[in-house]
Chains A and B, each alone.
Chain A
Amino acid sequence: MSTIVLLIITGLGLGALYFLVASGLSLIYGLMGVLNFAHGSFLTLGAFAGLEIARRMDGASWITLFASLVVGAVVGAVVAAATEFFLIRRLYNRHIEQVLVTVGLALATVALFDGIWGTDPTYVTGPAWFSETTEILGAKVPNDRFVLIIAAVLVLLGIVLFLKFTRFGLIIRAGVENRSMVTALGIDVRKAFTVVFAIGGAAAGLGGVLASHYFGYVSPQLGGSLLIFAFIVTVIGGLGSLAGAAIASALVAVLQQFANYYLGGTGDLTVVLLLAAVLLIRPTGLLGSKA
């Protein structure tokens, strides 16, 4: 029983990380039809920005952690908004060029991070409470998992409230459904594009700082490795569906943990098989309305 509880909570912690990346990917694709392969770079940059803050402050304090999270989110948001404004904006409806630019940016930023921070992982320490465990139904759960889960839930709630109660949120929801008609109502939908990129970048930057604590290190490859699973989650959840991304994040990560534990480390393979099954049975994903 304790093993199952541990696998579920650890899986939800990993799922929280997937969600922080996938939420941005899903919103960006839903509104703009852009598959953003550079999204992992926002996460990595957020993680390194958080690391730099931790180096300059007392790395083991809660205040440092909070400052790292804020700075990681802000850096992610600013860089993502700049990416949309300077690179993506000219390429809407030009999908091949979008892929080339975002893949190129992802490769270039990894090289840039290599140059600045080196290719080796840089280890991260958080508050002492992070490395302790809390016992739940006999399972000793690492405390950082709870922070990850709470952060992801808060981000999900924040995005839902933003979409529900703000003018930009209204524009984004309408734009996901029919971008052309939003424009035909006299609304400059490009501003919403930038806002969505910024939100996605902030979530990814926040995820970067949390991922550095989850894995215990930051490396230039951090974002890329999470991006693959975030894409899988986005497709399984349904492209453009935030709720789908949330459900799929939890489902994929928990399944991955169980397969790793009970099926001899076949978590990644199981996730890919799940992706294949969803694509065959329900190509639009769990909650997606369009392919």
Chain B
Amino acid sequence: MTAPILRVEGLGARIAGQQVVESVTFEVPARGVTALLGRNGVGKTSTLKGILGLIERWGAVEFNGERIDNLATHRIIQSGIGYVPEDREVFASLSVAENMRLAERNGGPNRELVDELFPELLARAGQLAGTLSGGQQQMVSLARALVNDNTLLLIDEPTKGLAPLIVLDVTTALGRAAEAVPILLVEQNLQVVRALADTVVVLESGLVVFTGPANEFLDNEELTTELLGVHLTDVGATGDNA
């Protein structure tokens, strides 16, 4: 069994003096997709931000066998973690090409993969990112993380607010990315989780309450209903849950 790529132990986090993550402990395997699940407001996004040091946090975070909880955010990213934030956070006043140029490290070694996955971005290179549709902005956000040679991706709700067809495109792109790099994925859409995730980590009230194989969890109606407030068979075509 290979060592986990990411080990999080007793991670707590605070935003503006308010504790948003109590004490989270979990591991991300060195391959495949690990989904971080839970109801709204349990601290999934804050856990990702805490790992990256984007918010005040404490506890131990080990990446690739090295402690990173004492590093500044830019150093953590440079060590090989790609981050796709909730709500895309593209730079609206910069063009698509400038958004990409800003993200590229060492010349953007995966440029060909990005061009293959999101050919539309090539055609819109000169367009301001703020004028793109939500789906196109998500492509920019994903492309910024995929263009570099990362060894882990942290992706926060990539299908949020997207049309079903775009959700399929994004899911396909994430599946392709996951062939090369492990992903820690926060996702509310359980159909996307079903399609991508090998492992799930479930949070409740800022604590980990379940860790295990994704299919085992998603098939357990009692557990998903209790921890997520919804079961996969309850959700519609787009799979929005609580």
Contacts and interface: CB of A to CB of B under 8 A. Distances in A.
Prevailing SS type, chain A contact patch: helix
Contacts of A173: 91, 93-94
B94 A186 contact: no
B142 to A, nearest CB: 13
A290 to B, nearest CB: 12
A177 B101 CA distance: 16
Interface stretch (B57-65, B77-85, B166-174, B230-238): B77-85
Interface string B80-107: 0001010001011110001001110100
B11 to A, nearest CB: 17
Interface in B190-236: none
Nearest to A175: B91
Contacts of B74: 183, 186-189
A180 B54 contact: yes
A186 B147 CA distance: 13
B155 to A, nearest CB: 12
B56 to A, nearest CB: 11
Given A170-B102, A184-B54, A185-B144, A177 B93 contact: yes
A108 interface: no
B110 interface: no
B98 A170 contact: yes
Contact of B101 (A170, A182, A183, A189): A170
A181 interface: yes
A44 B94 CA distance: 36
**Most chain B CB inside 10 Å of its own CB: which residue of A177, A178, A185:** A185
Contacts of B144: 185
Interface of B: 52, 54, 72-74, 77-78, 83, 85, 89, 91-94, 98, 101-103, 105, 144, 148
A184 B72 CA distance: 10
A186 B98 CA distance: 15
Nearest to B83: A184
Contacts of A184: 52, 54, 73, 77, 83, 85, 89
Contact of A181 (B78, B89, B101, B148): B89
Given A170-B98, A184-B83, A186-B78, A178 B91 contact: yes
Nearest to B92: A177
A174 interface: yes
B85 A171 contact: no
Interface of A: 170-171, 173-174, 177-178, 180-189
Given A177-B93, A186-B103, A186-B148, 10 more contacts: A170-B94, A173-B93, A174-B102, A178-B91, A181-B89, A181-B91, A183-B74, A184-B83, A186-B78, A186-B105
Contacts of B93: 173, 177
A198 B116 CA distance: 41
**Most chain B CB inside 10 Å of its own CB: which residue of A170, A180, A181, A184:** A184
B33 to A, nearest CB: 20
A173 B128 CA distance: 13
A174 B94 contact: yes
B91 A183 contact: no
Q: Which 6 A-B pairs have the closest CB atoms?
A: A186-B77, A183-B73, A186-B78, A181-B89, A174-B91, A188-B74
A177 B92 CA distance: 8
A187 B144 CA distance: 13
Nearest to A187: B74
A76 to B, nearest CB: 28
B102 A183 contact: no
Given A177-B92, A178-B91, A181-B91, A187 B102 contact: yes
Nearest to B148: A186
